[in-house]
């Protein structure tokens, strides 16, 4: 990890919270993600399993965590299994965790090598009453690639068909939605790196630069701060911004166009998520100002609406009603359009077709469903947008918000978003 070590108390507390939710005499298992192949003998850099990292801080391939809080033997209540360091392996792949390093990192005392896993796992399976296995339960996940967890679940159920099985994912969602003070601090550091990257870019952008040059400016600022891109950056000039997930980033920025920047940093695997829309020439046209101001009003209102006890679905519906009024004011839709609209495809969706926000944490689109109810400790993005392909531009704005008992806290309040502030920042050319 590029950052200073995280206090292992974070992971100790997270395991205690999970143990309190597990059914009696339950064994829970979490596997690391696969190292994914590319072409020939190539592979991608490992993406840590978010649940495994949440519970241990471990980012190493093939790692396995076993939790059995009610085990009779205290030595089998928390078990971590790792690849055994080997001099030949380390020549090719670099350093692997030793047992002592893993203990300091995770707070888990009983660390074993992977070759010990089969016998210990079988022993615990013979003792437990229930098994909690993990899977990707994000509602928008495309489950077309068989993962390490999927293979493990299939193998365990085949070999132990008479056990009672439960979904660990439901418990992990409940836990990960509410962020601890350490997690909030780490996301704050990701926001700080994002701020530095955005301000660097705002002073760099001008007609004639290419989108990929802007991407390089973000990369420079993130990497020098020990951070990384939280997701594939969207750097979309002109009409490109009307494609929600535009990532080609290969076009030249033209005078008079807007530039949509959906780019943020990750720090210690915790993510920020930022969108700003800025004028390439340094000043907004009157039409661009009107559309921008409409989007900003929706963002401000929905930020204030992030209150404990509110259902996520209700918050989304409130955003859609606000956006409908703004689109009427911009004369993009008419009262007749609303009167004659298909209830399943309302008129506003022509210009605002996505959710107004999502949970944020170890995953950019963190765990949650729209039936969930906001609670203190949630971090949500707020990201309304208006997309006008016929006019050759779009405006989307996004900030990250901590929900508290005393009201919402904008974690990106110090990143310019008002029109005058953006124009002033862009005038400070590097």
Out of 3-7, 18-22, 271-275, pick the least confident.
3-7
Percent with pLDDT over 90 in the chain:
96
**Looking at 243-329, which runs of residues are DSSP E strands?**
258-262, 265-267, 270-271, 275-279
Beta-sheet pairing, 26-31 with 130-133: parallel
The structure's pTM equals 0.96
Distances (CA, A) of 108 to 149, 186, 279: 21, 22, 51
**Looking at 46-183, which runs of residues are DSSP E strands?**
64-67, 78-82, 111-113, 130-133, 164-167
The residue whose two tokens read 């068909």 is: 161
Domains of the chain, earliest start first: 9-177 (3.40.350.10), 181-426 (3.90.230.10)
How sure is the predictor about 399, in pLDDT bands with cuts at 50, 70 and 90?
very high
How sure is the predictor about 136, in pLDDT bands with cuts at 50, 70 and 90?
very high
Residues in the chain: 430
pLDDT, one tens digit per residue, over 186-225 is: 999 999 999 999 999 999 999 999 999 999 999 999 999 9
Tell me how far apart the alpha carbons of residues 30 and 18 are, in angstroms, rounded to a whole number.
Answer: 12
Bridge partners for 82 per DSSP = 113
Distances (CA, A) of 239 to 168, 256, 389: 43, 12, 6
What's the DSSP call for residue 245? T
Contact at 8 Å (CB) between 156 and 124? no
How sure is the predictor about 430, in pLDDT bands with cuts at 50, 70 and 90?
low
Element (H, E) at 118: helix 117-127
Element (H, E) at 120: helix 117-127
Average pLDDT over residues 374-381: 98
The residue whose two tokens read 């008002």 is: 418
C-alpha torsion angle, residues 219, 228, 95, 64 (rounded to 10): -150
Edge-to-edge order in the sheet of strand 64-67: 111-113, 78-82, 64-67, 26-31, 130-133, 164-167
Nearest to 194 by CA among 304, 130, 121, 271: 271
Say yes or no to pLDDT of 147 above 70.
yes
What's the DSSP call for residue 108? -
């Amino acid at each position: 990890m590029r950052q200073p070590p995280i206090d292992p108390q974070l992971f100790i507390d997270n395991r205690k919270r999970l143990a309190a939710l597990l059914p009696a005499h339950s064994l829970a298992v979490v596997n690391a993600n696969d190292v994914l192949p590319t072409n020939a003998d190539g592979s991608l850099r490992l993406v840590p399993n978010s649940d495994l990292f949440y519970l241990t801080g471990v980012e190493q391939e093939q790692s396995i965590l076993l939790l059995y809080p009610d085990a009779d033997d205290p030595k089998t209540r928390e078990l971590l299994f790792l690849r055994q360091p080997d001099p030949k392996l380390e020549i090719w792949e670099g350093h692997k965790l030793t047992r002592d390093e893993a203990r300091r990192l995770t707070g888990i005392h009983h660390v074993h090598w992977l070759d010990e896993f089969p016998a210990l796992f079988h022993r615990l399976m013979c003792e437990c009453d229930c098994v909690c296995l993990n899977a990707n339960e994000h509602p928008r996940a495309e489950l077309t690639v068989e993962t390490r967890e999927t293979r493990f679940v299939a193998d365990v159920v085949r070999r132990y068909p008479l056990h009672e099985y439960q979904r660990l994912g439901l418990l992990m969602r409940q836990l990960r939605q509410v962020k601890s003070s350490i997690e909030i601090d780490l996301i704050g550091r990701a926001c700080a790196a994002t701020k530095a990257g955005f301000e660097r870019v705002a002073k760099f952008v001008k007609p004639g630069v290419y989108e990929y040059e802007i991407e390089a400016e973000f990369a420079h600022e993130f990497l020098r701060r020990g951070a990384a891109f939280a997701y594939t950056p969207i750097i979309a000039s002109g009409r490109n911004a009307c494609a929600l997930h535009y990532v080609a980033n290969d076009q030249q920025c033209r005078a008079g166009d807007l530039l949509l920047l959906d780019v943020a940093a990750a720090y210690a695997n915790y993510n920020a998520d930022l969108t700003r829309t800025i004028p390439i020439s340094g000043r907004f046209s009157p039409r661009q100002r009107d559309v921008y101001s409409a989007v900003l009003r929706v963002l401000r209102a929905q930020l204030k609406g992030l209150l404990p006890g509110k259902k996520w679905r209700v918050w989304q519906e409130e955003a859609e009603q606000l956006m409908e009024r703004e689109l009427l004011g911009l004369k993009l839709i008419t009262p007749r359009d609303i009167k004659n609209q298909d209830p399943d495809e309302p008129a506003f969706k022509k210009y605002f077709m996505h959710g107004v926000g999502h949970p944020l944490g170890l995953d950019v689109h963190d765990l949650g469903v729209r039936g969930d109810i906001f609670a203190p400790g949630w971090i949500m993005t707020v990201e309304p947008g208006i997309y006008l392909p016929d006019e050759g531009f779009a405006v989307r704005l996004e900030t990250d918000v901590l929900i508290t008992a005393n009201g919402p806290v904008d974690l990106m309040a110090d990143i310019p978003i008002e029109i005058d502030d953006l124009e002033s920042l862009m005038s400070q050319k590097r």
